[in-house]
Amino acid sequence: MATTTKTPPGADPKQLERTGTVREIGSQAVWSLSSCKPGFGVDQLRDDNLETYWQSDGSQPHLVNIQFRRKTTVKMLCIYADYKSDESYTPSKISVRVGNNFHNLQEIRQLEMVEPSGWIHIPLLDLVNNPIRTFMIQIAVLANHQNGRDTHMRQIKVYTPVEESSIGKFPRCTTVDFMMYRSIR
């Protein structure tokens, strides 16, 4: 079982973006789901609103597929789960798989969550602790709390590392005002 870094309830992974070390790349991918109830699909999973969620509608495993157009470096997944709101809909066992397409996915992480509440950070690193490079990520919900059938996921974020400048190291810009000036145009 993989270990995860659980942040306190309300801790936002966007704080990592503000440090300038990672960037959210979920918008560059094509997202698909194994099933969903009408009005509870990909749009709700990606809308930055912790009150909305994807709700599956079918048998397990419930799948979230994230496909990139080109091989992409991915450092971390962040999943928001809230046991107090979702109870038996809350995932308890998740598998993260990567590969070039549906036919060659390999599991790189499997984790069990006990009544999660907040952002769960899942590092996606290879054997020598480098971020993985992949065309596709699949998140499979293998089990829910209290043996629930369908699942709720409130948000999923995908992060890539920000590469250092080829000219040299520049100080990290951490305020919004300076973020737009950190690259040479």
47-81 per-position pLDDT tens digit: 999 999 999 999 999 999 999 999 999 999 999 99
Instruction: Tell me which residue of 118, 129, 140 sits closest to 6, measured CA to CA.
Output: 118
141-178 per-position pLDDT tens digit: 999 999 999 999 999 999 999 875 444 455 555 566 66
Whether residue 66 contacts residue 26, with contact meaning beta carbons closer than 8 Å, is answered with yes
Q: What is the pLDDT of residue 17?
A: 86
Higher-confidence position of 185 and 20: 20
- The string over 51-74, giving b where at least 16 C-beta atoms fall within 10 Å of a residue's C-beta and e elsewhere, is ebbbbbbeebbbbbbbbbeeebbb
9-51 per-position pLDDT tens digit: 446 888 888 888 899 999 999 999 999 999 999 999 999 999 9
At 41, give phi and psi (nearest 5°): -115, -145
Whether residue 87 contacts residue 78, with contact meaning beta carbons closer than 8 Å, is answered with no
Whether residue 124 contacts residue 81, with contact meaning beta carbons closer than 8 Å, is answered with no
Q: What is the pLDDT of residue 175?
A: 61
The Cα-based distances of 10 to 55, 75, 116, 118, 171 in angstroms read 21, 22, 12, 6, 28
Residue 103, pLDDT above cutoff 80: yes
104-151 per-position pLDDT tens digit: 999 999 999 999 999 999 999 999 999 999 999 999 999 999 999 999
Compute the radius of gyration of the chain from its Cα atoms.
Answer: 17
Whether residue 160 contacts residue 153, with contact meaning beta carbons closer than 8 Å, is answered with no
Domains and CATH numbers, the chain: 13-181 (2.60.120.260)
The conformation of residue 149, written as its DSSP 8-state character, comes to: S
Whether residue 50 contacts residue 117, with contact meaning beta carbons closer than 8 Å, is answered with no
Residue 98: CB atoms within 10 A of its CB come to: 21
Q: What is the pLDDT of residue 7?
A: 46
Q: What is the pLDDT of residue 183?
A: 59
